[in-house]
Amino acid sequence: MLLGVNIDHIATLRNARGGLDPNLVQAALICENAGADGITVHLREDRRHTKDNDVRELKSILKTRLNLEMALTDEMQKIALEVVPENVCLVPEKREEVTTEGGLDVASRVEFVKDFVKPLIDAGIVVSLFIDPDKHQVEAAAKTGAQFIELHTGRYSEAFGTQEEEMEFQSLKNAALLAEKLGLKVNAGHGLTYSNVHRMRDIPQLIELNIGHNIIARAVFDGLENAVKDMKNLIQ
Ligand code: PXP
């Protein structure tokens, strides 16, 4: 299975001070050197983490693939057609949400999504729709021309270790199976952690997992000890 690393929260940290540190491109290169198969960023309407220039820089420097997560707006479509990332993942977006809360509602607007996706695909971009593991959404996604879906693993992640875990896992399994039957390729992501990710290996259709927050959170603790030691050495 492939791993796409979402580095939005490196940008969150950078933006806290308004400078260039920690450098987003450097972070992307570290992820690639560590084996990441792609780098994901979400260009939000409010630009709260990744900025337009980050997307351009990443596209010109990455050796793997740039996966641009974005909402279905004219503004984002224009940027995608200008930058031409290898992948676009279409996500719903609400200004007030902390992170992407639910999957895209494709079922209620198949024609709109189809029209939105077409110029992207014509430009050579591989398009994915971020949807809940729901039969109707998978069936709708298959009518849009998008080559991939990304199954929203948020409910599975939240249910992990509870009575609902099995049900949420089965929903992902069934959705992946249906997607495959309908000719869609399948990725998954959101809320996956070092503790709950192992069950994804039991969904054979999954091609790539997109994981962000838990990797960046772990990286802080993996590096904190050395960071303090290095500073201490400098002032002794
Ligand atoms: N996939 C999509 C479509 C997302 O919106 C996000 C969050 O930006 C992720 C994957 C990664 O989620 P997490 O940061 O919880 O690993």
Calculate mean pLDDT across residues 164-171.
98
CB 10 within 8 A of CB 24: yes
Ranges of each domain in the chain: 2-235
Rounded distance from Cα 235 to ligand 1 centre (Å): 39
pLDDT, one tens digit per residue, over 132-147 is: 999 999 999 999 999 9
Average pLDDT, the chain: 96
Calculate mean pLDDT across residues 153-172.
98
pLDDT, one tens digit per residue, over 102-118 is: 899 999 999 999 999 99
Nearest residue (CA) to ligand 1, atom 4: 190
What's the pLDDT at 198?
98
Calculate mean pLDDT across residues 214-223.
96
| Closest listed residue to residue 142, CA positions, set 168, 105, 180 | 180
Calculate mean pLDDT across residues 86-111.
86
CB 92 within 8 A of CB 102: yes
Rounded distance from Cα 211 to ligand 1 centre (Å): 6
Calculate mean pLDDT across residues 149-177.
98
Catalytic residue check, 9:
no
| pLDDT over 70 (residue 97) | no
Catalytic residue among 69, 93, 150, 208: 69
- Does ligand 1 lie within 6 Å of residue 218's CB atom? no
What's the pLDDT at 93?
79
**What is d(CA 211, CA 189) in angstroms, rounded to the nearest whole number?**
6
Catalytic residue check, 42:
yes
What's the pLDDT at 154?
97
Nearest residue (CA) to ligand 1, atom 6: 190
What's the pLDDT at 95?
57
| pLDDT over 60 (residue 192) | yes
Nearest residue (CA) to ligand 1, atom 5: 100
The token duo for 217 is 């959170």
Question: In degrees rounded to 5, what are phi and psi of residue 126?
Answer: -90, 120
Rounded distance from Cα 213 to ligand 1 centre (Å): 8
User: Is 3.40.50.300 the CATH classification of the domain at 2-235?
Assistant: no
Catalytic residue among 9, 49, 152, 190: 190
- Does ligand 1 lie within 6 Å of residue 7's CB atom? no
| pLDDT over 70 (residue 96) | no
- Does ligand 1 lie within 6 Å of residue 191's CB atom? yes
Per-residue pLDDT band at 98 (split at 50, 70, 90): low
pLDDT, one tens digit per residue, over 171-181 is: 999 999 999 99
**What is d(CA 42, CA 99) in angstroms, rounded to the nearest whole number?**
10
**What is d(CA 178, CA 200) in angstroms, rounded to the nearest whole number?**
16
Catalytic residue check, 152:
no
| pLDDT over 80 (residue 63) | yes
